[in-house]
Amino acid sequence: MSRVQHAHREPVMQSTLSMDPMEDLAPAMGDTPGFFQLYTPKDRDLAVSLIQRAEAAGYKAIAVTLDTWVTGWRPRDLNAANFPQLRGYCLANYFTDQQFLKRLAKKPEDDIAAAAAEWAHVFGYSLTWDDLRWIRQATTLPVVVKGISHPDDARRAIDLGVSGIYCSNHGGRQANGGLPALDTLPDLVDAADGVPVLFDSGVRSGTDTVKALARGATALRVGRSYAYVLALGGEEGLVHYIRPVLAEADLVMAI
């Protein structure tokens, strides 16, 4: 993903939950800016370690995730017993972090079940406004808050020193029936008063990108579909997906 997005000059966002450590992913981004998406753990020392590792690795901003501090009720995942982290997947950033390793009696590779259980214990921290202060102090990078849906929250976050507002409802897969992110976007843009507003949730096509830009988004992010494409077609598949999205956006703007 990082290589494809660098080739197309599109910023990439790397999650805390990844199959490879952030340090291994960063070089593939080249000089294309990358965001590190922080899922804040309950252990503050671990959170600071993840933030500072991202800065040292060359990421250009920290996106603090507010829209999923615990996972929602997902019947499809439950029916398929789909929770890869409990089998040790997507935890490379934890398993390579000295603060996390201090919490374990054995190395992750020697007891993957215990390491995954410790991750489950430390995951799921509900942030408060006060947490933005120590997060800001932990890094010199810009901080973006991801999952803002109300203009009052946008204004308060900006007052606390964030550099960007990220309008998102996590693709609508956390709380079914929640407000569509696209509907909340214009009020957030007004409240941000010139501070950049990023957007995701429901972006699948070039037409979707133009709609979000027309409603005031500074930039937007494709979420779920890139994962489907990578699973089916790898890097070539992702290239095949991105090019039509960009081409459709050009044509919509021309029309």
Domain boundaries, the chain: 2-254
Q: Is CATH 3.20.20.70 the classification given to domain 2-254?
A: yes
- 48-52, 75-79, 101-105, 203-207: least confidently modelled range: 75-79
Share of the chain above pLDDT 90, in %: 74
Is residue 217's pLDDT more than 80? yes
At 225 the three-state DSSP class reads: helix
Q: Give the residue from 252, 150, 176, 160 showing the smallest Cα distance to 209.
A: 252
Q: List the catalytic residues.
A: 170
CB-CB neighbours of 59 under 10 Å: 25
> Which one-letter DSSP state was computed for residue 193?
T
User: In this structure, are residues 229 and 238 in contact, taking their beta carbons and an 8 Å threshold?
Assistant: yes
- 59-68, 111-120, 165-174, 243-252: least confidently modelled range: 165-174
On average, the pLDDT of the chain sits at 92
Is residue 107's pLDDT more than 90? yes
Is residue 6's pLDDT more than 60? no
Q: How far apart are CA 168 and CA 163, in angstroms?
A: 16
Residue 8: the pLDDT is: 63
Amino acid of residue 98: Q
Q: How far apart are CA 136 and CA 144, in angstroms?
A: 10
pTM equals 0.92
In the sheet with 143-148, reading across from the earlier edge strand, the strands are: 12-15, 34-38, 61-65, 143-148, 164-167, 197-199, 219-220
Is residue 255's pLDDT more than 60? yes
Confidence band for 7, pLDDT divided at 50, 70 and 90: low
| Mean pLDDT value across residues 121-126 | 94
User: Given its phi and psi angles, is residue 99 left (phi above 0), alpha (psi -120 to 50 degrees) or beta?
Assistant: alpha
Residues 6+ apart with CB under 8 A from 255: none
Q: Beta strand pairing status for 143-148 and 164-167?
A: parallel
